[in-house]
Amino acid sequence: MDKKKSVIKIILFVLLIILAAGLRLLYINTSFWYDEACSWFTASKAFPMGIIDNLLHLDLQHTPLYFFILHFWMKIFGDSEVAIRSLSVIFAIGTVPLVYTAAKKLTSVKNAIIAVLLAAVSPILVFFSTEARMYPLVIFMVILSVNYLIDFEQKNDIKSLIKLVFANLLIPYTLVGGILYNVSLVICYGCYLFKDNREKFFRYIKAAVVEFILLIPYFVLIGYYAKMRSLFVVRHEGPLAFFNIIDLIRNFFGIILTPNPYWPELNPYVVTLVFTLLVIVPCVYFVYGLVQGCKLSEKFLQVLYFIFFLNFGLAVVCSYFEISIFTVRYYLYLLPPLFILAVIGLSKKLSFKHLGIFVSIFIASAVSYNIQQLDVMYHLKFFAFEAVKAEADELKLGKDDVIIMPLGSDAPYYFRKPGSSKVFNFDFHKEVRNPYNSNYYDAEQQKLMDKPAKYGVIYDAVFANTYFSENHFKYFTKEVNSYVPSGRYVLVALYGGDVNAIVQLRDLRKSISSVQDIKDRCLDIMLQKYIYDMGELLNLDFDLMNSYTKDNYTYFIFKKR
């Protein structure tokens, strides 16, 4: 009888993994969006210094481990969307049994099955499971760390402690913000051990010191990032808003995601019956479970709750001071452990029948949503990046033509093959933020662009009867005007609301009454000046043949005289 039960459990577990894998594979063949193309671009550089050089001079926000792994993955399996994404899918699927393992160590088998079911079908975990970014890897590493933490707590052995340190070490090297988990773990678990077991405390602290020493390169790197980002000419991180926090909770526990899960939602919520049932109700259940769970008498369980609550709080603080952006993908690693902890809390307050009904409805609704959402997400990603390549192909543009995308041009994934149009290598948001960028700033400007005087420099450039800089004039005319032969084309693709930055110079000047206006609207003003200059530079040698809006882009076709 026991053998039969074991066989049934194995079969059910295999079916669960198949369900998790099937849902995740739904999204594997969708288009790359901008950040995924950046992953390809970074990982395609020479190992290791080419990758590091790209991070230090262009990216200025990510640690290298994921890109190191992806570099060799692409060498073996190629650089198609499916090949690159399969790396993330492996870690995403691997996360599911780790959730079960961790939950089983903490609670009953029934609760472990519920937790792993939630992790398997969670819409936000499914959506990001195929992301060609570091998120699935860091989610995997955090739940692995939780497993080793539980092992060390229960066994108090050096082997588990070494595994814990190793897993924790990899987390910040995978995701910059992952250090918040490490900090929260050391604070909460260290305080718990200090009160409960001094001998074990000193053993753990020694291991934490070793981990800190091995993280010195990480702290050097983020120190460099912090210095450089403090000097940025322009920033696009907005201040933390209350609804950013609401959005994260909604995407964590709701069945219906925000329209664009990549970024904080700006539009007000429309509360309908469906929204209430599929978003508000599950969020209330899970938050209630977490609140009730942290009241449990078992001390180590309380520590786990406090670790992830503190991590969440530190994320809010960092976003408040504009150190990071409070968006779901940066903190998605919290979700699998929170599912476990929420189920433990709910199981203490709800009957098994009540909990079973809620979970069954959640799972059925989540599976249905994931399948229905495929077409929506396909279009979201296609129209974010690949659409420009499709338009270039429709226009029969080739190697003698140039594509200008003010956003996304530094990662020309869809123009990587021989014979494709050349993409003008100038991503506005990355290039102009660097005060030492010689492609956009003259030498005299660079001396001031990392100081408060930069606003005066921008003011003077807007009101001068010339282009923003001589360096940008030379760079643009060399890479675009001189490159395109007579009779060939330049396709300018402005994404979304960037088309609103097209203004006449006189109107731009009228909108600026003082240097203070530059401070208040620095990004908008610089984008308007950049696009105006781009039009003037193209007019030197090109004629505008057509302009039109299609999906998310507004296109302008110029022909070389």
Q: What is the pLDDT of residues 121-147, one digit of tens each?
A: 999 999 999 999 999 999 999 999 999
When pLDDT is cut at 50, 70 and 90, the band that residue 239 belongs to is confident
Assign 237 a pLDDT band (cuts: 50, 70, 90).
Answer: low
| pLDDT of residue 5 exceeding 90 | no
Residue 116 has pLDDT above 70, yes or no: yes
What integer pLDDT is reported at residue 482 of this predicted model?
97
Whole-angstrom CA distances from 380 to 276, 345, 384, 387 are 24, 36, 6, 10
Do the beta carbons of residue 126 and residue 23 sit within 8 Å? yes
Angle at CA of residue 276, ends 274 and 279, nearest 5°: 95
Residue 1 has pLDDT above 60, yes or no: no
**CA dist 209 → 203, 204, 451 (Å):** 10, 9, 37
Q: Contact at 8 Å (CB) between 340 and 115?
A: yes
Higher pLDDT, 239 or 194: 194
- Chain-centroid distance of CA 539 in Å reads 38
pLDDT of residue 407: 83
- Its sign, for the CA torsion 279, 285, 291, 297, is negative
Nearest partner of 129 among 285, 252, 25, judged by Cα: 25
pLDDT band at 346 (very low <50, low <70, confident <90, very high): very high
The pTM of the full predicted model, rounded to 2 decimals, is 0.95
Instruction: Give the residue among 175, 488, 533 at the shortest CA–CA distance from 330.
Output: 175
pLDDT attached to residue 453: 96
Q: Strand 542-550 and strand 553-560: pairing?
A: antiparallel
Q: Which one is predicted more confidently, 118 or 325?
A: 118
Q: Report the SS3 class of residue 547.
A: strand
Give me the mean pLDDT over the 99-119 stretch.
96
**Cβ 301 vs Cβ 289: under 8 Å:** no
Q: State pLDDT tens for residues 252-298.
A: 999 999 988 887 776 768 899 999 999 999 999 999 999 999 998 89
% of the chain with per-residue pLDDT over 70: 99
On whether the CB atoms of residues 494 and 549 are closer than 8 A, the answer is no
3-class state of residue 325 by DSSP: coil
Only one residue has tokens 């049934």, namely 8
- Residue 9 scores a pLDDT above 80: no
Give the strand order in the sheet containing 489-495: 422-423, 402-404, 489-495, 553-560, 542-550
pLDDT of residue 263: 78
Q: Which residue has the higher pLDDT, 379 or 179?
A: 179
pLDDT recorded at residue 107: 96
Q: What is the mean pLDDT of the chain?
A: 94
Taking phi over 0 as left and psi of -120 to 50 as alpha, with beta for the rest, 485 belongs to beta
The upper half-sphere exposure of residue 217, i.e. CA atoms within 13 Å in the direction of its Cβ, equals 9
Inter-residue contact 377 to 30 (CB < 8 Å): yes
Mean pLDDT confidence for 294-319: 95
Q: Which residue has the tokens 């609140």?
A: 291
Q: Provide the pLDDT for residue 503.
A: 96
**Residue 85: predicted pLDDT:** 97
Q: Say if strands 489-495 and 553-560 run parallel, antiparallel, or are unpaired.
A: antiparallel
> What pLDDT band is residue 194 in, cutting at 50, 70 and 90?
very high
What would the pLDDT profile of 57-82 be if each residue is shown by its tens digit? 888 899 999 999 999 999 999 999 99
Can you tell me the distance from the alpha carbon of 318 to that of 288, in angstroms, rounded to the nearest whole number? 25
How does DSSP assign 220-271, residue by residue? HHHHHHHHHHHT-S---PPPP-HHHHHHHHHHHH-SSPPS-TTS---SPP--
- On whether the CB atoms of residues 236 and 190 are closer than 8 A, the answer is no
Sign of CA dihedral 17, 20, 26, 29: negative
> What digits encode the pLDDT tens for the residues 446-489?
999 999 999 999 999 999 999 999 999 999 999 999 999 999 99
pLDDT in tens, 410-451: 889 999 999 999 999 999 988 999 999 999 999 999 999 999
What sign has the CA pseudo-torsion 106, 109, 115, 121? positive
Mean pLDDT along residues 93-108: 96
Given a cut of 90, whether residue 324 has pLDDT beyond it is: no
The pLDDT confidence band at residue 243, using thresholds 50, 70 and 90, is confident
Token couple for 145: 């760390």
